[in-house]
Each structure stands twice: as C-alpha cells, then as structure tokens.
Amino acid sequence: MTAALIVAALACLLAGAAVDLGLGTRWAMVRALPYLLGAVGSACLLAVGIHATLSRTPTTIGIAPLFDVARGALRVDPLAGLFLTLMFGIGLAVSLCFASWAWSDAGRAHRRAVATGYLTLLASVAVVVCAADAFVFLFAWEALTVSFYLLTSAQRGSERQARAPWITAGIGKLSGASLLFGFLLLAGRTHSLAIASWSHVGPGGLHDVAWVLLLVGFAAKLGVVPLQVWIPVGYPAAPGPSRAAMAGIAANVGVYGLWRFLGVLGRPPVWLVIVVLLAGGVTAFLGILFAGVQSRLSRVVAYSSVEQAGIILVAYGVALTGVTVGSTTLEVVGLLAASLQVVAHAVAKSTVFCSLAFAEAEAGTDDLDALRGAGRRLPWSGAAFGAGALALAGLPPTIGFVSEWFVLEALMQQFRLGGLALRLGLAGAGALVALTTGLAALAFVRVLGLTFLGRRIDSTASVSVSVSPSSVSPSSVSPVSASAAPASSAATRAGDAGVLGRVGLVALTLGCLGIAAASPWEVRFLGHGLAPLVPRAGVLGALKSPWVLQPVYQGFSILSPSWLWVVLPFACVGAFAMAMLLSRGRYVRVRRVPAWRSATAGVAGRSSYTAFGFANPLRHVLANVLATERIRRVRPVVAGMSVAGEAESRLQEGTSVHVESETRVVEPVEAYLYRPAWRLAVAVADAARRLQSGSLNAYVAYMLVALLIALAVTAALR
C-alpha cells in the first residue's frame, strides 16, 4: 500500500508538470490544474507519512537501476514518515492556495516554469526523505536545487531579481558538493552506498571530517550564517505561494538530513558541538535583527527564516551535547525542542507567505507602507497572516510560543554538565536566543500592527531604506513604493484568496493555533517519529500529565498550552469587565481631544507612525552591528518641482524644500566575506588566463603537484 501511494503521488506530480509544460498558462483552469494535481499528490504522501510514523515496521521499495550507475532504493521508516507528514500536510494546503492564486489574473503565473518548479520541488523533497542510498539522495538533492532555480528565475524585473537564481543555485551547488564529498568519504570507508551501513564508521579523522561536510551541506539549505545569503534574495524573487513551499517545505530537508545523520554518525567531536551552538545563536540574532529593519515584507519574512534556522540549530546543538556527554535525557530534550520548533516554523512560515501572496497580488507590491490596511481589505488573508506572525514572534497561544518555551527550557539544562566548554557554549547560545525572542516580538508587532492592521496614509515625504553593502549607490523611494500598483480589478473580482485559497489559509491558521492547544498529542506523535533516534519513552517523559508539558526532567518547569487556551480568554474577559467596572462605563466612551503630533491613534496622514519609523530605534540602538548610515538631502522646490544641486546652506528663509532621507544598513556576511572573496576569485581568474599560453612542461608540473596533494590528503584521512 505504501509503495502504491508513493507511485501515485509521484505520477500526479509528473502529470502536473506535463500539463504545465504542454498547455502553458493561457487559460485559468489550465493554470490551476497542475497545483490541484500537486494537492492530490501531497494528500497521498501525507497518508504515507501518517501510516509510516505510527507503524514500527519500515517499508523498503526497490528502484530499477538508475542510468546504469546504481540500483537505488526508497525506505520509509517512522522518521521519514514524520517529515512526510509535516511537509505534505503543509504541501496540501499550499497547493490549494497556489491553485487559487494562479486562477485569478492578479496571481497569474506568466511562465510555465512556475508550476513545473513547484511540482519538482515536491517530488524532490519526497525522494530525499525516502532515499535509502547515497545516489538517490544526491540525485533528488540536485533536483531540488534545479527547482529553486526555476522558481527564483520566474521574475526578472530588476537587477536583484536577476541575481537571485544564480545566488540560490550557487549556494545549492555548494551544499550538494559538500554532501557529495561527505558521502564519498563514508562510502569509501564502508564500500557501500547504503546510508544505513555508514553507522559502522568508527571515531577518527574521517568520521569528524564527514560530520563537518554533512553539517555544512544541510546548514546551507537551512540558511545558517554564513550560508544564509541566498534566502533574503531567493525567497522574495520567487512568485506567490512558492515562497511558502521553499521556506515551509523544502528547507526542512536540511533539518531531516541533520536528524537522519545524527542516528547514522553518532557522537560528534566536542569542538563541533560548540561551533553548532554558537553558529545557531549568531544566526538567530542576525536573522531577526535584519528582519526588524527591512522595508519589504517578503524580506522581513525571509530574514525570519534565517532566525528560525538559528533557533532550530541551537536546539539541535543541545541534542548533540547530550550525545557527546552520553546523556540520553539531554539528547531527548534537545531533539524534541528542535522538532517542535521545526513544526512551528514550517506551519507559521507557510501561513505568512501564502497570505502575503494574496495581499501582494491585491496591492501590487510588498512594500510595508504600501500594504497598510491589507488586513482590513482582505480579512481572510489578514487573519491568517496575524496567526502566522504571532507564531513566528513566539507569542501565546500559538505553537511558536510552545516551541520557543521548550527550546529555552532545553538550554537551561547546561548546569547538569560537567565540562566548562560545553556549559559556556550552551550559556552563550541561550543568551542569544533569549535576545532573539524579544527582537522577534518587536519585528512582527511592527508588521502586524502598522502594516496589516494599519490604515493607508498619503505622504509626500521621501524616505528610503537600503539594506545592502555600502558600495551600493544610494536611491530614494517614498513610503508608498513607486512600484506599488493599485489593487487589481481581477483580484477584487476573485475575492480574498478565492474558495480554494481560503480553505488552504484556514487549514494553515488552524495549524498555527490548534497545534498549540493539542501540544500533548503532538509530543506523542513526535515520540513515534523520533523512535529511530531516541527512545519513545524518553520523549513521553515530556508529559507530566495528559495536559501538562515539562522539559523531560522531572520538577524543573511545566507548561500547559491546552489550559492556556482556556485561561487566556477568561483572563481577557475578566480584565475588560474590571476596567468597565472601575471606570463606571467610561472605558468605551469616545473622548475627543486635540491630537498632538505623535504616534497616537488620533494622528493620521503624514504625521502617523510608519513601519519605517517604528524600526528607527532599532537601527540606532544596534547601529554598531547594522553599520547604520543616514544620508539627508535638502532640495528647494520651485513651482512644485524639487531642484537638485542646491546646497542646504544657500536656502533662503521661507523657501519650500523637499527633504530626502536615506538609511542604509550593511549585511556583514555579504559585505565583509562574500564580496572580498568574489573580488579575489576574479583576480585569480584574471591571473589564471596566463596559463592558456603556457608550456606543456608547466601543465605536467601542475598536474604532478595536484596529484601529490591528493595523495597526501588521502593518506592523512586513513
């Protein structure tokens, strides 16, 4: 039955790609059909995942020889089933949103590659999760990189969009190369391509090098610093709900790889565990810091993915710490916390990106100030975005609150360790994660309160923000982006998200909120899925009672998300009733007072608070990290036109002026790592051109040196 469902799912995805490539995107029904087939395929894989997670017997499916290279195989065990359940439960909802988005003219995919790229993504993810040998795994991994390239290259309206597919593909190739070298080392030692056989590789230099290579490969797909540079440009470049597929579905193959090879490779070196903890903490902090100062909503959510990747990696570091010191309980705590965070991030990020797709189609832009009031105009998308934003901010009563509480509780177990190095690593990562959670609330309150729930403003003041290396030339845009287009009449006719889109958004919203209420049952399900790595009884130790959670260790701390859903509404009603009683009914009366020029509710128009202004304190307080630079230009206005080239000191008193203010922040990884490396690579390439006219003796000498280096490295690894 499992094999039949997998074949049926892959057949549906292949048929959808054939429809997209064969019939194009001219007719609305044809545009939506590939995504409906994607929904059917996702439903089949969801059924496979649920069955495999609850079943204790793995299923192995043989594959015919691939390209006369190897005889591949698929293997579905509880861990694979857990990730299939998560990914394709989300895939089903995203496919429905995608079908609705493609049906309307506003969300029309003008290139055939969009549906093909999306369906290739789903198929690649399914094969990666079920792959039992290295060849099938790497083949599907490279296919996933191709799907990313197709999706990010669908729109090339600007230089940034044109660069996005190449940056995305470049990091994807780096990820694939790292995995390839790691797999070759393990296969060479065991003389087998079967992933399960690599568990026999014992401790030593080769084992540690393989750990490093695999961590780099999976971290690149997840978006860990310094390999995160493709996410802020790749996600915004992808059209519509494909961002949800990239962030909420495909990125989790990196998580799956980390989980799977923890069971295969076992204990990592101590220094690598400390690197993982600190890299995760720095990734989380930088991700949410840059999310808080963006002026485009797609980049806010993209940087939030970097933040979530860091939190997941920190919790994974706790599990690695438990493996290193031989504490099964600590391993369970870390792995359970990381898995809860994976679920929260996948569901919330998919919800936010799907709702943003409909809001962006209606407004014509993803500029924060241009989207003001989107939640009022699009109530379905607005409600879904609100649930997803609260979950990403880690606020109750969402699943994000439960998962981040568990991550922080796991990090607090550092006092149980004896080694100072690991204790300091956990303490440093915990401090960074705690700071990150506070900044996350700030970032998403700004987006939710001032953008989706805000009111439209008309302003002539010119303000711009540029998040890029300082070498980029300055530019100036208004708070309502110049690229913003009025709401499409087609989008208005289609309604808010359409019928299928509303079904998908409701399912994702219920995931953000309902899973939190059902957290005890979620822990039980995770216990089944994590059984190949840790004892299921250890995972169930997180249940102090059927309704109360604890971080596995008895008597440390408890939380009941289920009761929180009961207590919070009553607390809100009680607080309102008390306010009404003490104010004798005056609490809800309208009071009219002169509004002073501030960010109060009585101020509208140019004097109201904007998303840009809300982030200004963050830019100034953390200016040393962001390298904030502010450029102010004052130009006189003559007959309604601003005149450039006049110095501020020459302005006459009473002259009307046009003020332009530009704020730029520097992305340190790109500015100080990748750009210098790019310049060095170009210089080396220019110097290497001389080799084209060299002598045969020089070429033979180069080959001899390369051979000697390869032999020396091989001997050292043995």
Give per-residue pLDDT as tens, 154-182: 876 666 677 888 899 999 999 999 999 99
Element at 274 (helix H, strand E): helix 270-291
pLDDT at position 60: 86
Distance CA 222, CA 252 (A): 7
pLDDT, mean over the chain: 83
376 pLDDT more than 80: yes
The region that residue 469 occupies, defined by phi over 0 for left and psi between -120 and 50 for alpha, beta otherwise, is beta
Of the candidates 178, 176, 140, 167, which has an alpha carbon nearest to the alpha carbon of residue 235?
167
DSSP class of residue 478 equals -
Beta strands in 67-178 (DSSP E): 70-76
Cβ proximity of 361 and 493 under 8 Å: no
pLDDT at position 463: 43
Higher pLDDT, 154 or 356: 356
475 pLDDT more than 50: no
Residue 657 φ/ψ, nearest 5 degrees: -130, 155
Of the candidates 333, 402, 390, 394, which has an alpha carbon nearest to the alpha carbon of residue 561?
402
Sheet order of strands, 657-665 included: 462-467, 657-665, 629-638, 641-642
**Residues of the chain by 3-state class (helix, strand, coil), percent to 5:** 70, 5, 25
Give per-residue pLDDT as tens, 606-620: 556 677 777 777 777
Of the candidates 648, 652, 633, which has an alpha carbon nearest to the alpha carbon of residue 464?
633
Mean pLDDT of 270-284: 94
Cβ proximity of 233 and 168 under 8 Å: yes
Give per-residue pLDDT as tens, 484-537: 444 444 444 345 778 899 999 999 999 999 999 999 999 999 999 999 999 999
Higher pLDDT, 466 or 447: 447
Tokens of 483: 């690229």
Planar angle of CA 338, 340, 341, nearest 5 degrees: 65
Mean pLDDT of 616-633: 73
